[in-house]
Amino acid sequence: MNWSLTSLKQNRLPLLVVTLVTSVSQLPAIAQVKLTPPPPVKLVQSADQVDEEGLKEKAEQMIQLLIQEDYNQVRTLLNRDLAVQLTSDQIGEIWSNLIELTGPVKDIAGYRVIPSVNANIVVVEATFEDKTDEFVVTFNKQEEIVGVDFPNVASIEEIAEIMVNSVAINDFARARGYLHPSLKSEILPNRLQSSWQNIQRENGLYERIETITVRPGSGVDSVDLVVVEAKFEKGIRKFFFIFDDNRRIVGINLAE
């Protein structure tokens, strides 16, 4: 989910303070919380049809639960794989960090559904104290929520750095938060975890980021490329992040 915001407050980044480690360990055990499944989405007549009203209702329920700070119930609306790796405390921290920067949500102006090939997206227009911005709720084809993008306040350099440092501390749920909604249905936290473990098997233990380079897009393609050179035990490995004009990652070689 732009469960993409963690709290590097000194740099006004919306992500959890990052500490580097030099080994890959198993994810910490997460307290078992009974996940009550959300109300089923209404059946539609054709596989090509999208139940827009059902998706809007689920997206509205998600945003309202966040506003009410009912993070346990927020988890019940998530795809199970995502809910297992994202605790209520993490969700609460992410939301609190957003509100600290934007002020509380004053009003929801509307919802619109954008169907796509491998996911359906609900854009939620929200009014904060000082601005109007959008949440993006991403559903897979089973109508499960696989991502919630919050308003983005970090630069593309910061996002790329946060992505690498987050996987380095096994925080895969947060790391995927900056992915474009269309990628969220394909790249769940366990896929990032497997990829990162393979990378360290090939390159040795992760040590640090050496350099971050931005290559701005041209007027033709309008996409920006960020190259992160990361130091591993056996040498340097480059990670490439391709961003669209909304600072969402549309291409990445960190997930195999």
Which amino acid type is present at position 41? V
Whether 169 maps to a domain, the answer reads: yes
Segment 191-213 mean pLDDT:
94
Residue span of the structural domain in which 153 resides: 9-252
Whether 157 maps to a domain, the answer reads: yes
pLDDT of 17 over the 60 cut: no
Residue 49 confidence (pLDDT):
74
What percentage of residues in the chain have a pLDDT greater than 70?
Answer: 79
Mean pLDDT of the chain: 79
Distance (Å, whole) CA 183 – CA 188: 9
Q: How distant is the alpha carbon of residue 155 from its chain centre?
A: 15
What is the pTM for the complete model shown? 0.64
Residue 189 confidence (pLDDT):
87
Whether 1 maps to a domain, the answer reads: no
Segment 85-102 mean pLDDT:
88
Whether 196 maps to a domain, the answer reads: yes
Residue 218 confidence (pLDDT):
60
pLDDT of 40 over the 50 cut: no
**Between these two residues, 188 and 9, which has the higher pLDDT value?**
188
Residue 174 confidence (pLDDT):
84
Number of structural domains in the chain: 1
Whether 130 maps to a domain, the answer reads: yes
Whether 2 maps to a domain, the answer reads: no
What CATH number has the domain bearing residue 68? Answer: 3.10.450.590
Residue 21 confidence (pLDDT):
26
Residue 219 confidence (pLDDT):
55
Q: Which tens digit of pLDDT belongs to each residue from 132-190? A: 899 999 998 888 999 898 887 788 999 999 999 999 999 888 888 888 887 887 888 88
Residue 151 confidence (pLDDT):
82
**Between these two residues, 20 and 53, which has the higher pLDDT value?**
53
Residues 165, 209 contacting (CB under 8 angstroms)? yes
198-213 burial, b for 16+ CB within 10 Å, e for fewer?
ebbeebeebeebeebe
